[in-house]
Each structure stands twice: as structure tokens, then as C-alpha cells.
Structure 1
Amino acid sequence: MTGALAKAVAAADLAFTAPARARALAAAALAEADGHAEAAAVAEHALGLAGVATGRLGDAETRLRAAVRLADGAGFRERAAQTRGVLGYVLTLTGRTAEALRELDRAMPELTGTAAARLRMQRAVVLTEISRFGDAAAEFAAALETLRAAGGDALIEATVRTNRSIVLARLGDWRGAEEDLRRAEQGFAATGHLGRTAMVWQNRGLAATVRGDVPAALTAYDEAASRYEEAGTDQGLLPIERAETLLSVRLIAEAREAATAAVADYERRRNAVDLVQARLLLAKVALVDGDPETAVREATLARRSAARQHRPGWAALGGYLALRARRDSGLRTTAMLRSGQRTVAALTDAGWVVPALDARLIVATLALALGRPAVAEAELTIVGRAGRGGPAELRARAWHATALLRLVHGDRRGADAAVRAGVRVIGRFRAGLGASELRAHASGHASELTGLGLRLAVEAGHPEAVLRWAEQRHAGALRLRPARPPDDEGLAADLAALRQTALDLAAGTGQAPALLRRQARLEKAVRDRARHATGVSTADTRIPSRAELAAALGPATLVEYVELDGRLTALVLGGGRLRRCELGSAAEAAERLDELRFALRRQAFGLGSFAGLAERTARRLDDLLLAPLPLGEGPLVIVPTGRLHELPWPALPGARGRPVSLAPSAALWHRAATAPRGEGGDRVVVAGPGLPHAAAEAAALARRYPGARRFTGRTARVEPVLAALDGAALGHLAAHGTFRTDNPLFSSLRLADGPLTVYDLERLACPPRQVVLSGCDSGRSAIHAGDELLGLASALLALGTTSLVATVLPIPDDAGRALMVRHHRHLAAGLSPAAALARAQSDLPDSPAAASYVCYGAG
């Protein structure tokens, strides 16, 4: 073997492990070939492989075609056939699958042994791309058999098994997929191709996603990304596959950002095949995001492109997403019904199990709307039978179909039981997630089911059933304590680095753009570590009965709000009696809420005379939300819904002067109200920097509580404060608060060494029993489907804090001190937290901050 040929062969071997080094070796071999056709052909082949590895598909095709011409021209038929195998894969990636299969079929007779095994693998990859999973599995098996007959090759076997794992996962053979990946990783390591283990981890993520293990999937994808970066190779479909997993737990903003970036990237690179999948992903995200117009456009473009590429499976998926988007737009036509039936057939032929069943559900609901019950019954029967196993999403759809089918037969009790079974499936899936963020978003999967259950209960006229379904819709994730990530020390280190970066930004130390990039990188690292946690919670997720709630309430009255079809309903439990009261428009309440928050903010900061507007708006909200209800004279426990979580309830006339406790759900309130009253524990007082009144507030409270642990000035640092709060009886933190709408888990209180975030609080082993957060917006939470809340206050309630006082509005720096001192005076005198806050607000009716403070939890 000549020196040039040896270099070219080495370059081809390195293409997917170290593409930059492979390119340099191949270029050197090409320069040294000096008319040696075989060396030149192999060098061009290696350059083509490096182009594939780095995503430069146009250059890869040019190089591979040159290699074929050189090899054919010199009579090196085996070399030409090997190159045609790679060319077939590139043609597949650029949407020319029929041409790809022709190239592979031309090459097949020329190869034997390991080369034939490799070609069979490449043909199987093409079949995988066009969703012919059964044919692909058979071709992969043939490739392995050919390889064994040829004496074996560890590197080729590892590559075959890596690629076959995708097919096995798609066919539901989880054990076989993992065994292939385990053996592939061993093979790559043994042959010195560690860079290729990135593909192994990527496929592990895909298999975990298909079986519904989101923490495992995200862990695998993050590991794959790290290995791709280390090897300097293109990530291929990794961003799309990871975004699909994020979408499975309804992390919509991140998934949409990733999908939009992928569409732009593949368009720029003229990667037609992956562009189809990116457009389909963007269509799916748009559907979940309530944007059917974008969904129809992207799904239609993807379907047409896939059809041109002779990829019927992907075209069917595009048709399905367009059908869903039109359904979400409100269309209900006979033409849609026929289109839906054709889509079901195409999806079934292509092997898309979950989309096919979902399309059958859409067809069934269309048929019911169009007066075709026989068609609906047939489709619902198939969905109900097909979905008894598999991922949670599939099983939940099956129970939904069963509920609708039972309704067709007039069996309302059976329908309710089916809906409850579907909700339990989603509940178990949610509990398997460790991160509070993932759990909160995952609750969105149950929205249709809980909506159906609530509608059935309302139509039946049973208030207790309505209350049970209202609780299913309210903050189920908060009843599960967040799990710590597997690398908790790494999380603490990242949080410390993030705090230092925030300090540098505030002080103007260093270049702001570089610091902002570092902050974004660290926030991503923190978020990703937290998402790797697996659910291990043993919290009681049972919903208490009416009798249990009534016993815990005593003289208090529970008001739980629900929204259905744009209207608000209140469930009122007082004196042991439960009543359902129909109220007004949810949209009107949201409009008045915005007016009230605006007026109170302007009034608090002295930006005009808005007292009249605030009072008028508060009365209008009271007339809508409280005045129609039989509330009695005692304390109130309020479970809001939707935007009502942002309402400063003490501003409403019906709530003034009386103890009011807010809770994300009646179950969470009951857990706090019936929790054992712990004895002992420190009282902790913290004053953050930049608040002139905070130190004085802390000093006054320290005098109120002799022996309290006080942190002010430079001593008010996150780690010592967290250590003191762990297991404390009371924690009072006066500090600047920031609510992060882009990522509420980075909402924070500013301490001496930087922000104390939700991620910090979730590291507490035992949270303080009572907490006061005297800072702007410290009680605000992001509100997601299922009334799931993410923020400082909701995090503490989930951890087990029984009562918490915080603000739902910004307040002037010095406005809260007098109110908080009064609050603690009444607290020390024996009043409950809600009663102490109400008394303090009555003592200071003109305080600009009075209406901003609310009490959460048991009160």
C-alpha cells in the first residue's frame, strides 16, 4: 500500500471520530496521489465522509461522486461500490430516497464480506429514514449475519447496532434496543472510536423518550451533545430529538426555539430530509402553543416535501398535524372527516402508532359533531383496545377514547371512571419526573381529560363531584416534593458560579456581553442538571373528601374557583355544606384584574392619583368573585384559578379585615392545615443589600424574637442563610425580589453574594414552617395548564412550608417595613399568619403596600 493510499484509508476511518484530522489527512493523501487513482478515490471518499460527519452535505455529495468516477474509471469496482453506499445515505439526507436505493442496489452485487455487511446496513438506514421499520429490521439482521459469516468486524458491528437500536425502539423492543446500544458502546471503545459513542447516547435518549422516561432521555441527550462537541462532529437530528422530548413535557418555549432554529439551519444547509422533520416539530409545537395557523403552514410544507422525496410515512405525519390544526381552528366539515379517515390509513400503513390513534380520536369527535355515531363508535373502539399498553401518552388517549365511547352508549358513570383512569396514568407519568418544572408542564397532558371529567360533573349537578374534578385540575404537581438531581454537588457549584456572575453584572465588572453569555450558559447547566432528577416522591397525592376538608376548616369557608368554557364557577364549602355558584366571564375578571394591578402599582409608587380607580375596580371584582357567594363572617381559604392567582385579594371589599389564605389546591391547603405542629426550630431574619429599611426591619424583628439568627450586610449570603432556614420555625427575608417570566425557577431574592433562586430553595431538606418574603413580586408564580405554579412561593409550599406571606405586586423599598413589624407583633401575640396579616393591614389602611401582601398555605 502506498503512503498516499495508507493516509487516505486512515482518513476514512477517522472521518466520524475526528473529522478535522480526517480532512487534513485526506487532503494530504490527495496531494500525494500523483495519478494513483485508487489513492485519489479513497481520499475523495474520506473527504465525503468528513462532509457527512460535519453536516456539509453538498460538499460530501460532490466528493463522493468524484470518488465513484475515479474508482469506476480505473476499474476499482469494489471501491466504487463502497462509495455508492455512502452516496446513497447522502442522497437520502437530501430527499432523494428512490435514487439512493438505486445506488445501493447497483453496489450490492460488487461487494462481499464486511463490505457487503456495511452496504446492507446503509440500505437499512435508508429504509429507516422512510419509516419502513420492519424492512429495516430485516436488513440490519442480514447485515449482522453477513458480518459474522465474514469473520466479524467490531467497528462495523458497533455501527450496525447503533443504527438498529432506532428501529427496535420504534418497534417497541426496549430491551433489544438497550442491548444493541450497550454492545455498540463497548465496540466503539474497544476500537478506539470514542467519538462515535455520541451516537450511542443520542439513540439512548430516543429510546428513553419513546418509552416515556424523560429524565433518562434528557440525561442521554446532554451526554450526547457533550460527546459530539468533544469530537467536533455534527449533531445531526439531536436538537430535534431533544426538542421532541421537551415538548413531551410541554416545555413549549424551549421546544419552539429549538424547532425554529432547526428549520433555519437545515434550510441554510439544504438538508431536505431533516428539514421535513424540523418543520413537523415546529408544527407540533405550534399546536401545543395555540397557534394553528403556523401549524397548518409548517405541516403542509413538510407533507409536500416528504411526498416529493417518496417518504409516505413522513407525509402522513404532516397530514395528521394539518388535520389537528384545522380541528383546533374550529373546523367541523364532512370533507375534514374524509380527510381524517385517509390520514388514519396513511399513518397506520407507516407505523405511526400514537399519531394514528390520536387521528382516530379526531375522526371520532368530528363524526359525533356531524351526527355520524356509527363512525365514531368504530374509531373509538379501536383506540380503546390498542392503547392498553405502551407509553403514558398512548394509554391516556386510550382511556379518553373509552370515555367518549361510553358516552356514545349513554354510560356517564363509566365515562367518568375511564377519565379518572386516564388522569391516573398521567399522574404516574408526572410523578416519575423529578424536576418541579417538568412535572408542572407535564400536567398539561391531562387538560382534555380533566376538562371532560369536570364537564360531566357539572352536567350531573353534583357539587362534590365537581370539587373532586376541580382538584384534579389544580396544581397536582405541587403535591410532589421535587427530587434532587443525581449530581447535587455539581448543581450547588453551578449555582454559586451563577451568583458570582450576577454580582459581576450588577457591579459592571468585566464585559457585559461576555457576562450575559456566561449567565445564560450557567442557567442552562443548572436547569439541565435539575431535569436529570428522577421522581422518588412518596408524598400523599390523595384528594381529601368534603368531610375531611370541612373538619379541617372549622369556622373558615373554602372557596375554590374553576373555569369551564370561559365561565367561572365557585365551589363554596362552609359549615359542612358544599354549594356550587355560577359566576361571570373569566375574560372580564382578567380584564378587571389587569386594571386593579395597574392602579395599585401606580398608587404605591406615587405616580398619580389612582385610589379612585383602584377602589372602583376592586368593587367590580368583588361583585364578580365574592359578593355572590355565601361566605359567612369567618376566615376565608381561597383556591384561585388561572389569572386569579395574580389577584391581590386583600384589596377586595369582601376580603378586607378578615383572614384570607390562598392555596394552589384544597388538597395542598389540607396537607398544610393538618401537618403536625412542630416544636422548636430557629427563627431566622435576613436583610438583603440595597434596601435602606431592611437592616432596621431585621433589627426590629430580632428584638421581637430574642435568640433569632440574624443575617445582614455581608453575612447575608445564600449558603449560610439556606443552612439556617433548613428546619427553622420561622424565616423572614427582606430583600429585593425579581420574578423571571422567561424562567420562573430563576426568580430570586437578592442577597449579599447574589440571587437566592427557586433552585436554591429546592435544596432544603426541611423548609421553615412559616416564611415571610418581604420583597417585590415574591409571591408571583408562572401559571401553566392545570393551574400548575412555578415561583418562589409555590416552591416553598411544595417543599412543605405550612404558611407563607409574600407580595403579588412590586412595592416601594421602604413601604413594607411598618406593615411587617405589625404583622410579627400580632404573630407573636398568638394570631395565625393570615389573621396577623389581616390585622396589620387593618392597622395601616393607608399603607401603599398593604394590598400587595397575601398569605399562602394553612394561614
Structure 2
Amino acid sequence: MASDIPRPAGAGGEQRGQQVRRPRATSAASAEELWTASRQASDRGHWDVSRRFARRALAAWEAVPGGDPTLRVRILIALAYNESELGRTRVARALLDQAASAGTQILPAVRVARGLLHVRTGRPDLAIEDFDRAIAEQRGAESAREQEDLAGALINRGLMHMSAGRLSDAAADTAEAGAIGRRLRDPDLIFMADHNLGYVRYLGGDLPGALSAMESAAAASAEGAADGVSHLDRARALTAAGMVVEAGEFVDHALAAFRRNRATADLVEAYAVRAELDLMAGEPAAALDHARKAATIAARRGNDNAALASRVLQQRARRALRALAAEDGTVALPGRAPGPAGAAGRAGCAGPTGDAEAASVTGTAGIDPAASRDARSAGALADELAAAGMPDDRGAALLLQAEALLDAGRVHEAAGVAAQVRQSSAMPQLAARLHHRYVDARIALAHDDRRAGFGHIRRGLDELARFQARFGSQDLQSASAVHGADLAALGLRTAVRSGSPATIFQWLERARGVSTRLPQVRPPADPVLAEELGALRVSYEQARQAVLSGRRSPALETRVRELRRAVRARAWEARGNGAVTRPPSLTDVQRRLAADPDAPTVVAYIRGGGVVHALVIGPEGASFAVLGAFADLQERVRRLDADLDLLASGRVPAAVRAVAGRSLEQGLSALSATLVAPIAGWLRPGPLLISGLGVLATVPWSMLPGLHGRPITVNSSVTASMTELGRPAQVAGVLSVAGPGVPLGGLEVEQVAAVHPGSAVLVDGDATGSAVLREVPDGGLLHIAAHGRHEAESPLFSSVLLADGPLYGYDIAPNPDLPRQVVLSSCEVGRNDVRIGEPLGLAAALLRSGVSTVIAGVSRIGDEVAAEVMTEYHRRLAAGDRPAFALAGAVGTVDRPAPFSCFGAGV
């Protein structure tokens, strides 16, 4: 049963699978049928279709004398709502005036409809008055229809409480509406109430709870999740979590529905969210376009407040465009030539916003002549927002004005504007608070007060870390770092310019916050998640076999996508423990290095301003140097990877192999000349603890000239490198697994098992995901010879292919038994991408889940080479070598490319 009260599910929308029944010819009965069809179309978000039905219903009612006046009022309400959604607000008001003049017993329903019209035109105070009166008049109603009207009024008043920040009142109204829906067994009311309670959690900052509630509401909906606004709400929650791609999928779905149904009021909000996501994704031109569309539609509808809010987004987009235009003028300062250990190199680290860790921001290298114009525009907008009673949006505009003044070199004026924000805006959103910290830091640094500037940055990043620590999901932890990207970059860039290795180290570790400051993520065992992963494994393998047989199955591929989404949504529900640690100081690291008899050296590679830098740390001191252009390095690694892939194939003609071999040798020499030779004088003779992200983490370090035979570990942060330094290697149980399609996989795992007496082996049809999870030795070693797949966007979906389909990182992380070491010998899942300073990939995901060491290939590896190296690796491991030492020795026994790396603990 659908209510004639327009009830947003966060605002409402299409119920999938729901069909609009075509009414019979005009008669006394058909007027009600036409009205019912109008309500059904409205519930689906088909405003134009609903309006046509409502008009026909009104004509049918008027054609039959003596009609029920209450039905006429309900038809007028339905028609008014659709006219409002289609942007004809004056027509809607006139229709509601007609309905109110009828003087029927359903006047409360008219009040709710008028309240919704006030909502849609930016008049919240008038709306809440109408909702309050309607609810008071409907208390004690007994009929199902009156109860339904009351529930609709409660849903909508709950939304008004949400918009005003009265979350406890919103939750009370929404829960009461849900209780009415359950008594009436109305699935639409139940869905809207449950979904909106999730939205209340989102507004309260409980993102795991919000995502869980919204997903549960959609899954439990009898007709499937509502379209349109419920998707928009989920996009908002995911945007707050930094999940740009996932939020984009939901908002694009909502936009398509709103455009299709001409839902202009909802289009305003959807375009605004899309613009926000564009800005987060570094696409300011698209953001400006979408923000302009939101402002235009809002103005056309008479919603001046929404139009003003959209202009703030336009101002942000123009500033981001100006920053991009200024990129060509940014340069890195030259570094001091490498000297003896303990000498401090010095380098600038300016670059475009979003350029990895040490990005620059317009205005730091000079005065922007367009900035004064932007400052005037932002100031005028702030005045309009103040007049409209929109303090938070005014605060955002003032921060943009302050930034523009900084870019124009007008520092004292910028400080005055920023001070106004502290006095007038509560800034409930984390992103807004971090933006304020960023502006205050820039002002302090412009006054040469580095201590105060660093203080603002530190407090902002500490708040971000506490926010991230609420999540028990690696996805959400790493994605939410986007909100602090500018702060982290400003801190690291300022540190680099200081020339102090201790300061650089401190801000390097803070910039890599998740991998440095948050504990490992070990979600609890979840039988529902395990069941969904099992279904995904089966569906994936069926879809893969269909492709291989030449009979692609779109239905199976859709099923795989749906299951992947369900798995991720389930994982997002996990909560973190809230713990945040401080990274060690440079002195702490040097003390640890001095106590290690193997004489290790830490090398942290930093990308910024289009340049690669290196911070080298030894027991007596630290050194810093500029190494070379990042673009050149990236291209060399790409060519190197192509050569390694070619040489891993057994079907390449000898002449082609010879060319690839020479190219590989030249590429390795060039990389060594860039990354190793300039700092060679600072390296001690022992192991290297390398810290790097993205392409810098997947260089085949052991193959570089000058590093042959040297034990090397690779981590995303120096803190991670130091976690288990010097811990003895212990192999407490071994499970060796051979996946399909690896010709020598069976032989390899048998040889590995022979090295470790009592170890278990899974091959052929026995090598299934469920068998691996059941038999993996807790605290032991899991060796998998299988083909792998690297997922750049969702690291826990990176996988190795077993007999029954992929074994995902999602499978291993919550498994009751977790291996201490994982060896992935025949795949390239050591590859690594970066999301806002944090690594993405299976190796990184396993380490964040609690695995101590991952041995994996960073490029394709020939089957014979993999079998030979891995057998020798295990021999050395069984003899007591630590992983990095065992791997260095094993790789040194072959004369063919073996691009293995040791990630995590190994020295």
C-alpha cells in the first residue's frame, strides 16, 4: 500500500519490479484506480507519469456527480506533489490551496504536502510548522489510511530534524514511522524508515553503522532497494568515507533516475554530490559543470538556498582549476650531492595538488594574479550566505576567500577572514574542519611561524586518524585518507623545505597514516561474508568458463558484480577499535638500527613535485637527496615490467629473448643509477629496509646492480619496516597449494613440502579455497603456486586462482587461522597501487590483515625459475634464515630473472 503523502526515503524513489497497473475506463471506481496508479508511479519516482494519472483521476472524479470529496483532496495532493517535483511550484501551491479549501477531515495530509513543498523550495521553518500541526492532528487515528498518513508525516518531519541537526528527534520520528509500517505490514514504509535511520547514523558520524543499515534496508526490501534518493543517500555516506569510485556509482545511478523522471528537486542534490566527488577525484572542470547545473535547476525551482550552496561548489571548482593551471610553474629545489653518512641533503618538494605525498598548493611558490578576483567573489558569496542564514556554507566560502587572499599574497587579510570562520560556523563535517586546519596552517607558515603551522597540521591529521580508526575495513580506512591529503602534503612539503631529516621523517610517517598509525585490521569471522564469498567464487568461475568457451554469460557477470558489491558492503560494517598510535621518532629508529648486528639501513623513497627523493637513515645520522624525475622512473619501471613479462614466457623466440634481455639489463642499470648510485655512500653493508609506495614499492630491488645478494624488505612506511626488525624466523607448520594452470606447480609444492617434514599439500581438485582456509596453519606458512589477479581499486579482491575459483584477500583476513607468512610464487600480485598515500594490492592487504611477511613477484615469473627459486628459498628458511636473507640467497642461485620481493617483516 502506498501513501498519498509524498515520503522521501531520504526522500523516496522507485521500487524495483513494481508495476503500475493500468486502470479501467472512466467511472466512479476508476477515479480511485487512477489515483492509486498515480501514487504507484510517484513511489517509483516517475513524476511525469504520475502527474498524467493524477490529472486523469481528477477528470474522472469530476465526471461523476456525488463523488467522495476526500478522494478529490487526495488526488489534488498527488497532483501538487508531482507538479512540485517537476519544478512547477506555483502550480503546486495553487493545487494545495484548493485541497485546503475543501475542509475535509484529511486536512493534516494537506499540511504535510504543503510542508514538503516548503522543503523543496528551501523554507524549512515553515515546513516544520506544517509537519508539527499535521502530526498533532493525526495522533490517535485508528484507520489504516490515517495511520499511513501519520507515518508519512513522521518520516518527513524526521527528515526536517535531520537537516536541522536534531538527530535524536529525527531518530524518534523515523523509528515511530517504522513501527507503524510494521503494524500495517507496509514494505515501502518499513524500507524508508530503516533506510532513514541509517541516514541518521551517517549524519551522526557513524559511517559503518550507516552503511550497514542502508544495505540491510535495501536487502530486506520486498521489491529490492529503492531507486533515486536512497542511492543518493548511500553516495553521500560513501563520499564521507572517501570511497570516491563507489559513491560515484550510486550517484550516477541516482542522476540517471532523476533525469529520466524529471525529478528536478532531487537533481539539484545529486548534481551537488557529483560535483563534490569530482573535486575529490581531481576533476575540477567536471565539478564546475555539475555545480552549475545544480545551481541552475535550484534557481529555476525557486530554491535560493540550494542555488547558493551550489555556488560554493563552483567557487571550490574554480580554485582547483586555478591550482591546476599553476602547476607548470612549480619546481623542485636542487638537492645537495650525497656525502658521508650523517650529512643532511636538502630539497624542495613542490608539485600539483594530488601529486602523491608532497604535493604543492597554488600560492606557495608565488603570487597568483587571478586570486584577488576569486577572493572578491568568495567574499560576496559569503555575505549572501550569511543573509540567507546558512552559517556552515558561509564558513566554507570564507575559507575559500582566505585561500585566495593567501594566493594573492594578502596574508593579514586572510588571517582576518579565517578568524571569522571560527566565530560563526560549527563545521560539523570532518572535511570542513580539516580544510579549516589547512588554511590556518598556511596562514601560520606564511607568517614564518613553522611551529604553529605544524601544530595545525598535526591536530588535523590526528583528528583524521581518530576518524579512520572507527573503521574495521581496510577499504574505508585507506579511502578516508583523502580528506587529509592536502594537510599531509603541506606538512611533508614544509618539512622537505626545512632540510631537516628528523622533520622530514616525522612528516613522511604522518603522511602515510594508515600504515603507520592504525593497528592491523583483523575483522571477526563472519559466516554471512563467508557464504557470499563462496557464492562469488562459484559465480566467478562459471562466468570465466563461459568466456573461455566462447559463450559469454551476461547474467553470470551481473551476478558476479552484485556479489562483489554485497561482499564489500558487508566488510564495511566492521568497526575499528579506535586505537591510534604515534609513529616513532628518528632517534627511536636510529637506536633500533644501532642495536641490530646485521647493520641494516633504512631508505625511504618519496615522490613529490614530479621528483623522487630519498631519505636514508643509519644509526649515526640521516641524509636526504633528490634523485630524479618521477615520470622517467615510472617509464623505466613500465619498460622493465614489459621485458620481465616477455622473458617469463617460454614461447618467445631466442632472438626476441635476446633483445628483451639486453633491454632488461639496460633498464636495471638505469634504475640503479637513479635510485641507488646517488645514495650508495650512505648505505651500510647490511640489509636494506625500503619504504615506498606504488611503483617505488614494486621495483625488483634484488635485481638492481649493486644490490645483488643484499637482503631487502619493502614496506609502505618506515614504521612498518621497524615493527619486527630482528625477530627470529619461525616456521610453525606449512601448507603448500598448487592452483590450476601452473605446469610445474605440483612439482614445486611437493618439493616445498619435502623441505618441511609434516607439512600439508593441496593439488589438483583438492586445492580449493575452502580447503585452504580450513587447513592453513595458524601462525605458520602458506605457500601458493597459482596464477593471481591484482585489483587496483579494491585490494582485498586481489586473488589467486584455485580449483574452485579465486581465493580473495577477503577470505584470508577474517579466517580464524591466519598464517604468519604467505608465499605467492607464480603470480604478480606483489604489484602495488596507491590511494592517497596508502598502498593497494594483495600483499599490502595481507600485511594490514595481520600477516607478517609476504613473498611475492612484482612481475611475471617463469614456471621453472619460480620452482627453482622457491625450493631453494624454503631450504634456506628451514635452515634458520630470516625471509629476506633466504630470498636474497635463493634469487642469487639462478641466472634468469626472478623478480621476487619480500614485503613486511624479513630482516
Q: If the length of structure 2 is used for normalisation, what is the TM-score?
A: 0.86
* In structure 2, C-alpha distance between the alignment counterparts of 1:157 and 1:83, rounded to whole Å: 18
Is residue 826 of structure 1 aligned with residue 870 of structure 2? no
Pair 1:82 & 2:126 matched: no
Structure 1 residues 352 and 679: CA distance shift in structure 2, 3 A: farther
8 Å contact from structure 1 (residues 480, 537) kept in 2 = no
Q: Deviation at 1:436?
A: 0.9
CA distance in 2, matches of 1:151, 1:526: 43
Deviation at 1:211, TM superposition (A): 2.3
Q: Work out whether 1:214 is the aligned partner of 2:207.
A: yes
RMSD after superposition: 3.0
Tell me which residue corresponds to 1:186: 179
Q: Is the 8 A contact 1:426 1:443 kept in 2?
A: yes
Q: Which moved more, 1:790-799 or 1:438-447?
A: 790-799
Residues 352, 759 of structure 1: alpha-carbon distance in 2 compared, 3 angstrom cutoff: farther
- 1:638 to 1:305, Cα distance in 2 relative to 1, 3 A: same
Report how far residue 209 of structure 1 moved.
Answer: 2.2
Q: 1:386 to 1:753 in 2, by over 3 A?
A: farther
Q: Does 1:542 align with 2:582?
A: yes
Which of 120, 134, 141 in structure 1 is aligned with 2:111?
120
- 2:896 counterpart residue number: 847
Alpha-carbon distance change, 533 to 21 in structure 1, aligned in 2, over 3 angstroms: closer
Note the C-alpha offset of 1:695.
Answer: 1.4
**Alpha carbons 1:685, 1:701 under 8 Å: kept:** yes
Q: Distance in 2 between matches of 1:804 and 1:320?
A: 46
CA 1:729–1:19: 2 relative to 1, 3 Å:
closer
Post-superposition Cα deviations, 1:91-132, rounded to whole Å, max 9, x if no partner, equal 22112233323332443343355x222221112222222333
Q: Could you tell me which residue of structure 1 aligns to residue 48 of structure 2?
A: 58
Structure 1 residue aligned with 2:156: 163
Structure 2 residue 370 is the aligned partner of structure 1 residue 378: no
Cα deviation, 1:204-255, whole Å, max 9, x if unaligned, reads: 2322222222222222222332344x14785331112212222222222233
Q: Whole-Å Cα distance in 2 between the matches of residues 707 and 215 of structure 1?
A: 43
Name 1:434's counterpart in structure 2.
472
After TM superposition, give the deviation of residue 807 of structure 1 in Å: 0.8
Shift of 1:347: 4.5
Query: Which range moved further: 243-252 or 75-84?
Result: 75-84
Residues 425-464 of structure 1: pairs in structure 2 closer than 5 A: 425-464=463-502
Q: Judge conservation of contact 2:191–2:218 (CA < 8 Å) in 1.
A: yes
Q: Which moved more, 1:752-761 or 1:84-93?
A: 84-93
Letter matched to residue 626 of structure 2: E
**Kindly tell me: are residues 744 and 707 of structure 1, through their superposed partners in 2, closer, same or farther at Cα, counting changes over 3 Å?**
same
**Which sits farther off after the overlay, 628-637 or 57-66?**
57-66
Instruction: Assess if the C-alpha contact under 8 Å between 2:714 and 2:901 holds in 1.
Output: no
Equivalent-residue separation in structure 2 for 1:666 and 1:387 (angstroms)? 38
Work out the CA distance in 1 between the residues paired with 2:823 and 2:470.
31
Quick one: distance in 1 between partners of 2:777 and 2:241? 31
> Structure 1 residues 708, 150: closer, same or farther in 2, change over 3 A?
closer
Q: Return the letter of the residue paired with 1:56.
A: H
Q: Which has the higher contact order (CA 8 A, sep 6+)?
A: 2
Secondary structure, counterpart of 1:568 in structure 2? strand
What is the letter of the counterpart of residue 258 of structure 1? F
CA distance in 2, matches of 1:352, 1:613: 62
**Counterpart position of 2:519:** 480
Could you give the per-residue CA deviations for residues 482-531 of structure 1, whole angstroms, max 9, x where no partner exists?
Answer: 3537x811111111122222333344498633322222222222112111
1:827 CA drift (Å): 2.0
Q: What is the CA-CA distance between 1:160 and the residue it aligns to?
A: 1.4
After TM superposition, give the deviation of residue 384 of structure 1 in Å. 3.6
Distance 1:691 1:680, change over 3 A: closer
2:570 alignment partner in structure 1: 529
Tell me how far 1:351 sits from its aligned partner. 6.1
Q: For 1:327-342, what aligned pairs fall within 5 Å after superposition?
A: 327-330=319-322, 332-342=370-380
Counterpart in the other structure of 1:601: 645
Within the candidate set 762, 772, 778, 2:813 is matched to: 762
Asked if 1 retains the 8 angstrom alpha-carbon contact of 2:729 and 2:881, the reply is no
Distance, in Å, in 2 between the alignment partners of 1:641 and 1:11 is 54
User: Given residue 515 of structure 1, which amino acid in structure 2 is its aligned partner?
Assistant: L
Aligned length: 836
Change (3 A) 1:384 1:821: farther
Instruction: Report SS of the residue matched to 1:843.
Output: coil
Shift of 1:774: 0.7
Structure 2 residue runs of 5 or longer lacking an equivalent are 324-369
- How far residue 809 of structure 1 moved from its aligned partner, in angstroms, is 0.8
2:786 to 735, 738, 753: 735
**Using a 3 Å threshold, how does the CA distance of structure 1 residues 818 and 713 change in structure 2: closer, same or farther?**
same
Structure 1 residue 582 corresponds to structure 2 residue 623: no
Q: Does the 8 Å CA contact 2:5/2:153 hold for their aligned counterparts?
A: no
SS in structure 2 at match of 1:596: helix
Question: What residue identity is the alignment partner of 2:292?
Answer: T
Number of the residue aligned with 2:331:
none
Once residues 65 and 444 of structure 1 are traced to their aligned partners in structure 2, the CA distance between those partners, rounded to angstroms, is 49
Structure 1 residues 317-396: aligned runs within 5 Å: 317-330=309-322, 332-348=370-386, 355-385=393-423, 390-396=428-434
Q: CA shift at 1:663, angstroms?
A: 0.7
Match of 1:137 in 2: 128
Cα deviations by residue, 1:366-390 (Å, 9 ceiling, x for unpaired): 1111233344223311334456673
Deviates more, 1:399-408 or 1:83-92: 399-408
**Residue in 2 aligned with 1:413?**
451
Question: What TM-score, normalized to structure 1?
Answer: 0.91
**How has the CA–CA distance of structure 1 residues 231 and 753 changed in structure 2, closer, same or farther, with 3 Å as cutoff?**
closer
In structure 2, the residue corresponding to 1:656 is in which secondary structure? coil
Query: Quick one: structure 1 residues 411 and 105, their matched pair in 2 at CA, closer, same or farther if it must change by over 3 Å?
Result: farther
C-alpha deviations, 1:769-799, integer Å up to 9, x for none? 222111211212332112x123221122112
| Preserved CA contact (<8 Å) 1:360 1:380 | yes
Match of 1:302 in 2: 294
Q: Which residue of 2 aligns with 1:810?
A: 860
Match of 1:399 among 431, 437, 450: 437
Q: Distance in 1 between matches of 2:400 and 2:217?
A: 36
Change (3 A) 1:576 1:692: same
Shift of 1:350: 5.6
- Whether the 8 Å CA contact 2:509–2:583 is kept in 1: the answer is yes
Once residues 126 and 107 of structure 2 are traced to their aligned partners in structure 1, the CA distance between those partners, rounded to angstroms, is: 17
2:557 to 516, 520, 527: 516
| Partner Cα separation in structure 2 for residue 517 and residue 644 of structure 1 | 36
Residue 497 of structure 1 pairs with residue 535 of structure 2 = yes
Report the CA distance between 1:185 and its aligned residue. 0.7
**Which secondary structure does the structure 2 equivalent of 1:535 belong to?**
coil
Deviation at 1:297, TM superposition (A): 1.8
Report if aligned partners of 1:454, 1:469 keep a CA contact under 8 Å in 2: yes
Hey, what's the Cα distance between the residues in 1 that align with 2:319 and 2:497? 24
- The C-alpha deviation readout for 1:713-737, integer Å capped at 9, x for no partner, is 2322222322332423222211111
Q: 2:803 aligns with which of 744, 747, 752?
A: 752
State the 1:352 CA deviation. Answer: 5.7
Q: What secondary structure does 1:616 align onto?
A: helix
* CA distance in 2 between partners of 1:14 and 1:455 (Å): 52
Task: Write 1 or 2 for the structure with the bigger share of helix.
Answer: 1
CA contact (8 A) 1:164 1:177 kept: yes
Counterpart residue type for residue 632 of structure 1: R
Alpha-carbon separation, structure 2, partners of 1:247 and 1:82: 38
Pairing partner for 1:47 from 37, 55, 73: 37
* SS of residue matched to 1:395: helix
Q: Percent identity?
A: 30
Query: What SS does structure 1 have at the residue aligned with 2:627?
Result: strand
1:471 CA drift (Å) = 0.8
Q: 2:735 maps to what in 1?
A: 684
Distance 1:828 1:597, change over 3 A: same
8 Å CA contact 1:45, 1:83 repeated in 2: yes
Q: 1:186, CA displacement in angstroms?
A: 0.7
Aligned equivalents of 1:585, 1:386: Cα separation in 2: 45
Report the CA distance shift for 1:751/1:343 in structure 2 as closer, same or farther (over 3 A): same
Q: Give yes or no for the alignment of 1:668 onto 2:717.
A: no
